[in-house]
Amino acid sequence: MANIVVVGTQWGDEGKGKVVDVITPHVDVVVRYQGGNNAGHTVVVGREKYVLQSIPSGILHRGCRCVVGCGVVVDPGSLIEEMESLVQRGVTLDGNLFISKNAHLIMPYHPALDRASEAKLGKRRIGTTGKGVGPAYVDKAARVGIRMADLLNEPLFREKLELNVAQKNRLLREIYDAQTFTVEEILNQYLRYAGWLAPYVTDTALLLTRWIDSGYKVLFEGAQGTMLDVDHGTYPYITSSSTTAGGAATGTGVPPTRIHGVLGVSKAYTTRVGGGPFPSEMSGAIAEHIRARGNEYGAVTGRPRRCGWFDAVVGRYAVRINGLDTVALTKLDVLDQCETIKVCTGYRYRGEILTDFPEDETVVGEAEPAYEELEGWGASTRGAKNEADLPAKARRYLERLEELLGVPFCLISTGAQRDETILCEDSPLLRWFPSVRSSLL
């Protein structure tokens, strides 16, 4: 029995969707514990490409139970669209999808506030996805948020909505000079959503605990990444939720004592979308090359992703903050044509080399990366299925990264397809899910 967390170790888009999809056949339940439709988790199955936003990536496996936990913020319109699109593509949701009564709702005024606030921040703008995720978490912390259960209780929903619309309209009009909302319009629209979603809404914390009691294996699917965590990320250039492993407990109601391991997902290099410090960022031709080869454009917003070298300072920080047991390394194939490959092993700051990620925003902003250079392998690793099939120099790169991180790799991904995946020798995944060997070899 193993319940494990899969978490991004960088600034998101590490390939969590693919890794979750590969592990799903070995678990019974996949649960999202934070974030909302700011996430874009891509899963490629043959010629089909799915981008999951609020629904766990496990949904593509028939029979896998998928839960949207209490820590997630749900935009009901966007969720219903996602559900309809999956159903049209032959995915079964009834009996497989469960939404927490306590999940907070993204209301129409949240994206409006998100955009208005970004516009006001000027050069300090965060570069959010504009989905209203930040303002929805603001309301949750301010104790004026509206939850899934409220949506199913019309008088209560109306009362909370009236309070919020009055407050948000003042904010939109007087602070941001932006468009306002009417209660009736939102009410009508959201009551239609309520009818749609009601069959899926339940006490998911209770359900998850019962399932675990009966021996079901649960995978907690993180969204975003460690460096976007509200507490541990590069504040204020972060998202507004607990993206790190600790969030898995609070965002689901499953206690930490019932979680057995944490798997981090890292790219073989680094990307970031939006503003904020990025010490190992590349520029010029190499950045263009990686962006093109890795198709580094946002799955949700289409924005070009900023690209950089692998940052072992960030990697070690992710190991520490999440207590990672192991790392799945993705997109190794994207580096195939690089003559030399840099790895950031420390930050130069005022004559010192820092090897622990600094907490201070100004230090991160000023830090210069200290690089180690490795020779590229100049051969295709695309679709490799065994470590032995990799060029010696690619294996050397992997060994060096493992050494710098201090934890073993479990999977190496060499393409977007399910079977473009290497199961590492002595992979910690085998300890949790022995059946992985037969499915990946």
Binding site for ligand GDP (CB under 6 A): 8, 12-18, 40-42, 44, 299, 330-331, 333-334, 413-416
CB of 40 to Mg ion, least distance (A): 4
Binder of residue 15, out of ligand GDP, Mg ion, ligand IMO, none (CB less than 5 to 8 A by kind): ligand GDP
Q: How far is the CB of 285 from ligand IMO (least distance, A)?
A: 24
State the nearest-atom distance from the C-beta of 131 to ligand IMO, in Å: 5
Question: Is 41 designated active site?
Answer: yes
Closest CB to ligand IMO among 9 and 427?
Answer: 9
Q: Please give the Cα distance from 182 to 337 (Å, whole number).
A: 55
Is 52 or 178 the residue whose CB approaches ligand GDP more closely?
52
Site pattern 204..223 for ligand IMO (x: CB under 6 A): -------------------x
Site for ligand IMO in 152-191 (CB under 6 A): none
38 binds, among ligand GDP, ligand IMO, Mg ion, none (CB under 5 to 8 A by kind): ligand IMO
* Contact status: 299 vs Mg ion (CB under 5 A): yes
Count of beta carbons in the 10 Å neighbourhood of residue 63: 11
Contacts of 336 (CB under 8 A, 6+ apart): 293, 376, 377, 378, 379, 380, 381, 382
Site for ligand IMO in 267-326 (CB under 6 A): 273-274, 299
Residue 332 DSSP one-character state: G
Where on the phi/psi map is residue 162: left (φ > 0), alpha (ψ -120 to 50), or beta? alpha
Catalytic: which of 26, 41, 61, 232? 41
Q: How far is the CB of 273 from Mg ion (least distance, A)?
A: 9
Q: How far is CA 21 from CA 55, 110, 346, in A?
A: 13, 31, 33
Q: Closest distance between ligand IMO and the C-beta of residue 201, in Å?
A: 23
Q: Which residue, 234 or 345, is less far from ligand GDP as judged by CB?
A: 234
User: Could you say which residues in the range 122-141 bind ligand IMO, by CB under 6 A?
Assistant: 126-129, 131, 133-134
3-state helix, strand, coil in the chain (%, to 5): 40, 20, 40
Nearest-approach distance from CB 167 to ligand GDP, in angstroms: 33
Alpha-carbon distance 38 to 73, whole Å?
A: 10
d(CA 288, CA 137): 35
Cβ partners under 8 Å of residue 295, min gap 6: none
SS3 415: coil
Angle between helices 133-142 and 109-121 (to 10 degrees): 110
Q: Which stretch binds ligand IMO (CB under 6 A): 73-81, 120-128, 279-287, 393-401?
A: 120-128
Does 228 help bind ligand IMO (rule: CB under 6 A)? yes
Residue 160 amino acid letter:
K
Q: Judge whether 110 counts as a catalytic residue.
A: no
In this structure, which amino acid lies at residue 82? E
9-28 binders of ligand IMO (CB under 6 A): 11-13
Asked if 78 and 110 touch (Cβ cutoff 8 Å), the reply is no
Shortest distance, CB of residue 281 to ligand IMO, whole angstroms?
14
In sequence order, the 6+-apart residues with CB closer than 8 A to the CB of 280 are 270, 308, 309, 310, 311, 314, 342, 344, 369, 371
* Range in contact with Mg ion (rule: CB under 5 A) among 35-43, 98-106, 348-356, 390-398: 35-43
Window 45 to 104, contacts with ligand IMO (CB under 6 A): none
**Cα–Cα distance list, 162 to 110, 159, 192, 251 (Å):** 15, 5, 18, 27
The residues with which 73 forms a beta bridge, in sequence order, are 104
Binding region for Mg ion (CB under 5 A): 13, 40, 299
- Residues carrying an active site annotation: 13, 41
Binding region for ligand IMO (CB under 6 A): 8, 11-13, 38-41, 126-129, 131, 133-134, 223-225, 228, 239-240, 273-274, 299
